[in-house]
């Protein structure tokens, strides 16, 4: 899982990009449901 911080989830063409503000950028293998739950 990604580190703590502001997480901005961008859903593109079947691609999900994770952008962490103030922290390192990490791509976590999470299901769409987990992404929605993370927010």
Report yes or no on whether pTM surpasses 0.85: no
Reading the block at residue 1, the tokens are 């899982």
**Position 20 pLDDT exceeds 50:** no
Q: Which pLDDT score is estimated for 15?
A: 52
Average per-residue pLDDT for the chain: 53
31: left (phi over 0), alpha (psi -120 to 50) or beta: beta
Cα-based torsion angle of the residue sequence 8, 26, 37, 12 in order, rounded to the nearest 10 degrees: 60
- As a whole number, mean pLDDT of residues 1-30 equals 52
Q: Which pLDDT score is estimated for 25?
A: 46
d(CA 14, CA 3): 23
Task: Give percent above pLDDT 90 in the chain.
Answer: 0
């Amino acid at each position: 899982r990604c580190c703590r911080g502001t997480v901005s989830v961008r859903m593109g063409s079947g691609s999900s990009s994770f952008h962490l503000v103030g922290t390192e950028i990490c791509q976590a293998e999470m299901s769409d449901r987990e992404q929605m739950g993370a927010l």
